Chains A and B, each alone.
Chain A
């Protein structure tokens, strides 16, 4: 068990809808990262927050947004969902701001129908 908690484990929704994925980092970790894993794109970095502030941004769509709250948990909001957004979404955390080392949650499998 990595200590990173993600909910829900599975999510099935329809095109055009909006969903929120939640992540609690390991105790003591200040950074939270979001990744998307799909068969065609592999593991893609979306965004990182460090102690409540956005620190790095990857290939995150404008329809997606995230935030990190004062208690350090994070939420990833996906809106106007499309079939192509179906993927495994991972949250990871680390102690510092510098990607080292990353500990991943078990992921949320999103299916858009």
Chain B
């Protein structure tokens, strides 16, 4: 099946700093989403971004499907940004195997923002 690698595994920031989280995937995809799991365990959908660039407030994401990676940018980080950021992908039909029709999650990036 498709492999999803996220980096860095851990990130510690001071409030106000910017950061970039990366998601690499091993095959062509037709679906990519970014999620934030807050310290209370809630999973929030940040972006649905199989290709291109999107922005939502201080967060933006870019997916370069042809090069098999996606980036999540967090600007002017706040303590409420702390938590785990997950990238999830669905392999496209041509990728075959077991990855089509379901999202495969990476292991996540644990972000801690200190005041």
Contact = CB atoms under 8 A, between A and B. Distances in A.
A binds B: yes
Interface of A: 2, 42-45, 48, 55-56, 58, 88, 90, 92, 98-104, 106-107, 109
Contacts of B41: 88, 106-107, 109
Secondary structure type dominating chain B contacts = strand
A56 B101 contact: yes
Chain B interface size range: 20 to 34
Contacts of B106: 42
A100 B48 contact: yes
Interface of B: 31, 33, 35, 41-45, 48, 86, 88, 90, 101-108
Nearest to A98: B31
Contacts of A102: 33, 45, 88, 103
Q: Ordered nearest first, which 9 A-B pairs have the shortest CB separation?
A: A101-B48, A104-B43, A43-B105, A56-B101, A45-B102, A56-B102, A101-B45, A99-B103, A99-B31
